Each structure stands twice: as structure tokens, then as C-alpha cells.
Structure 1
């Protein structure tokens, strides 16, 4: 089709085609991200999943879509699949070493996903992490859940004393028994005894 065009114009048309394909890949990735985000929101609303799982699911889907778009763009720009595969396997080997080095952090992140998916507790629930049958553990109202810690506001018997805040690693909730009270009001015994 381009045989009747001058050579200089043919190379210019080829470059414009590549730029057009790159722009098309970016546009399709953008549309796909928006569609997946709407789908995630609809699934969370339909199945009454905790709203805290929405940002994490959006981030993961965005990273996967962006990575796929980047690979397609690099392929259109002439980067060979062998180079990409070699780079990926090198990063995977380094990632495996980093995985074992950061095991406790990754354990906390995984346990966070389990807390959200199993509804073990929610923000504003009052919980107690039990050490064993005879020793009381950490008590407090859940005020924040992030990827590494759950923040508890300790209840105090004296109203004039400022409440303290505990940050409990999320993997602790799967190593010990957890007692939970739903709602905003703690049980009456809660206010009477606070371990120190």
C-alpha cells in the first residue's frame, strides 16, 4: 500500500503507525482500568465486602493493567521478548531473596488481607487479643487497620486520663485468640479493668 510513497514519507508513516499503536494501547489500558474499577466496586457492594478492601483491589488491578500495557508498548517499540524475559527472571530472583528477607512484613500484609476478607473485626469494634486462658491481653477499640498494623485505642478506667494507642502487628491476630464486641459501646466489664 505504501509502495507508491517516497522512501522518506514511508519511514515517517511507519513511525506514525507505531505512535498511533502506542496511543491506542494507552487508551485501551485506561478504559480497562476504569471498567475493572467499576466491576470491583460493584462486587464489593453486591457481596457486602468491607469497603476497606476497595483501595487495595484497585491498586492491584491498576498495577497489573499498567504492567501489561507497558510490556505491549515496549514490544511495539522494538524491545525483544527475550530481553524482557531475561530482565523479568532477574528481577524475580532478586524478589525471591527479598521475599525471605522481608518475611514478617509480608506476613503482616497477607494477614491484613485475611482480616478484610474474613471480617474478623472492623473499625470501631472493641477487641481483646488473649495471651492465654489466664492472662489478659491487649484490649481496645479498633481505630485503624493498615497493611502492617491494627491500631487500638486502649480503654481507661479513669476518664481524666488520656487514652493510649497500641499498634498491634496484623499477624498477631492469627497467632492468638481474639475476643470481639461489635458496635461503639464496650461491655461494662471493659471499663472496670484495664491491664497495665
Structure 2
């Protein structure tokens, strides 16, 4: 029979953990939105990053709850390592998906270009000069001067040299053409 007295410590710690989770989710979301506003990131990109961070926080809380409620840590680590192994084997063929998601987060927080910028991707076989139309979790949508739409994977964007072409450069170039 379940007794509140017997599990009062676990119940209190669980409630406190959920309150902390809710507060952290609000604080982290506000911090990410503030960063996005100061660095001129788009709203849907911001929401995607917030979603990723919330998933990570939920996983950490779930693991904490398992420990709080007395699951043997040895069994917990065996279970987690088994699940990680299965996921790792299953995702090995899909490494590019994880790589693109990670690259998308890096592009959000660290790269100096944004939607609307014109960039030149330095690729010896296929150089590209285009305007960034959108940056999603997996790829960047580009549009060339000729109107060609190019979808470029985020992980490749991090691997190539990139030049950001200033807006005034296009005006001067059009003036001389």
C-alpha cells in the first residue's frame, strides 16, 4: 500500500524539482529570446532553439526523478547505456541529421550572418553566391541573383569558408554594370 509518510521526502523533492524546472524553462526562454533580439535572429529560429533546450532540460529532470525515487543507480546506468547503444547504432546511418541539428544551433548562437545577408560559399568545385532566405534546423535556404533556390545543409555550411558580401557592395556593382 502506498503511504504518503513513507514517500514524503521523494514527493517534496519531486515537487521542488518541477518548480525549478518550470522556473528554469521561463528564465532560459527569456535569455534566449533576449539574445535573439539583440543579435537580430528570427522568431521561428528562436523557438526552435528554445524547444531543443527544453528537451534537454526535460531529459535531465527525468533522470533526476529516476534517481530520487530510488531506482538503483547501477540499473539506471545499464539501462541508459543500453538505450544509448541502440540509439547510437540506429542513428549511425543518420549522423548527418544530428550533425545538421547541432550545426543549426551553432549557426543560431555563433555565426555572424543572418537571413537577408548575401554570402559567398567558397567551394572549389561549386562556389555559391546567394542571399540567405531562411535558416532551419537542418539546412539553409539560399537564393541566387538568377532566382535559383539552393538548399544547403547546415553541417556543410560550417565546413566551408564563407564571405559575407556587404549590401553597399551590390549597389556599387550594379552602378558600374
Assess same fold via TM > 0.5.
Answer: yes
1:167 aligns with 2:148: no
1:92 aligns with 2:84: yes
Out of 69, 72, 82, the residue aligned to residue 74 of structure 2 is 82
Q: Deviations over 1:1-56 (max 9, x none)?
A: xxxxxxx9x935435665454333322221222233334445x279x445357445
Deviation at 1:126, TM superposition (A): 1.3
Query: RMSD in angstroms over aligned alpha carbons?
Result: 3.7
Residues 1:24 and 1:181: Cα distance change in structure 2 (over 3 Å): same
Q: For residue 139 of structure 2, what is the aligned residue in structure 1?
A: 149
Out of 97, 110, 113, the residue aligned to residue 105 of structure 1 is 97
Structure 2: which 5+ residue stretches go unaligned? none
> After superposition, where does 1:41-120 map in structure 2 within 5 Å?
41-42=33-34, 44=35, 48-49=38-39, 51=41, 54-55=46-47, 57-120=49-112
Residues 1:136 and 1:87: Cα distance change in structure 2 (over 3 Å): closer
Residues 1:115 and 1:38: Cα distance change in structure 2 (over 3 Å): closer
Give SS of 2:119's match. Answer: strand
Deviation at 1:153, TM superposition (A): 1.8
Deviation at 1:86, TM superposition (A): 1.3
If the length of structure 1 is used for normalisation, what is the TM-score? Answer: 0.66
Deviation at 1:91, TM superposition (A): 1.6
Structure 1: which 5+ residue stretches go unaligned? 1-7, 157-162
* Alpha-carbon distance in structure 2 between the residues aligned to 1:118 and 1:32: 23
Deviation at 1:141, TM superposition (A): 1.3
Q: For residue 180 of structure 1, what is the aligned residue in structure 2?
A: 164
Choose 1 or 2 for highest CA Rg.
1
* Alpha-carbon distance in structure 1 between the residues aligned to 2:64 and 2:122: 51
If the length of structure 2 is used for normalisation, what is the TM-score? Answer: 0.71
Give SS of 2:3's match. Answer: helix
* Alpha-carbon distance in structure 2 between the residues aligned to 1:176 and 1:65: 32
